[in-house]
A = this chain, B = another copy of it.
Amino acid sequence: MRLVIARCSVDYAGRLQAHLPLATRLLMVKGDGSLLVHSDGGSYKPLNWMSPPCTLATSEPDDEQRAAGIVELWTVTHKKTADRLIVSIHEVLHDSAHELGIDPGLQKNGVEAHLQKLLAEQIELLGEGHRLVRREYMTAIGPVDILATDASGASVAVELKRRGDIDGVEQLTRYLELMNRDPLLAPVTGVFAAQEIKPQARTLAEDRGIRCLVLDYDAMRGVDDGDSRLF
């Protein structure tokens, strides 16, 4: 990995066109040739970048560019699309290279998957007498998060989200339409379960006869054996 701090301007042309005026920034050249242009603020997203696979070529400025103060040009070209990134360097303030090796990668411990597992284990949160049929119940248009039965034995389809948005209601609606055409399942009622349900989504859901269930993740995790704590 090469790290360069430079006064530069950047032009990108590809799916859109963008320009960064002259300023001091970090240019990070990764081992795969990809380039990240970072400022000293914002979030983890660079101001501009080129994703791999791509190649970086450096060149000398022509007379006009040299007169404008440019001392070096970097052209990063994507190998598949026609995307191009041009870095016009006016001054190099730092330049260092480092051998990092390949990274073992990130190990994650679930969010929505965990929520689904917990709700399956605590299925009576849906109401007394509910029984789990199965998680990820497969239909022609995709898997329903949880299929259960209520106290009367009728089918209940559960759509699970961390944040309950209109999209999730639409998704569950499509599942319900389809499943209610199946005589072996019908009648199927719907439950929209999420840690947080947006007012718009709740309105739409209830308008369609879908029950909304707000889940308390911490409480559910508290009931759990509590294995996966790091600290």
Contact = CB atoms under 8 A, between A and B. Distances in A.
B30 A106 contact: no
Interface of A: 1, 3, 5, 11, 13, 15-21, 23-26, 28, 30-32, 34, 36, 38-49, 51-52, 84, 93-94, 96, 98-111, 166-167, 170, 228, 230-231
B96 A96 contact: yes
B104 A23 contact: yes
Contact of A21 (B3, B101, B104, B110): B104
Nearest to A101: B24
Contacts of A228: 17
A81 B32 CA distance: 35
A3 B1 contact: no
Nearest to A39: B103
Count of this chain's copies in the oligomeric assembly:
2
A49 B40 contact: no
A98 B5 CA distance: 8
Given A23-B101, A40-B30, A47 B106 contact: yes
Contacts of A34: 41, 43-44
B108 A18 contact: yes
A138 to B, nearest CB: 17
8 contacts: A16-B110, A21-B107, A25-B100, A32-B41, A39-B103, A40-B102, A43-B51, A44-B49
A23 to B, nearest CB: 5
Contacts of A52: 41, 43
Contacts of A3: 3, 26
B30 A41 contact: yes
A7 to B, nearest CB: 10
A226 to B, nearest CB: 13
Given A11-B230, A51-B43, A170-B170, A94 B98 contact: yes
Nearest to A228: B17
A82 to B, nearest CB: 11
Contacts of A49: 43-44
Contact of A15 (B18, B36, B48, B111): B111
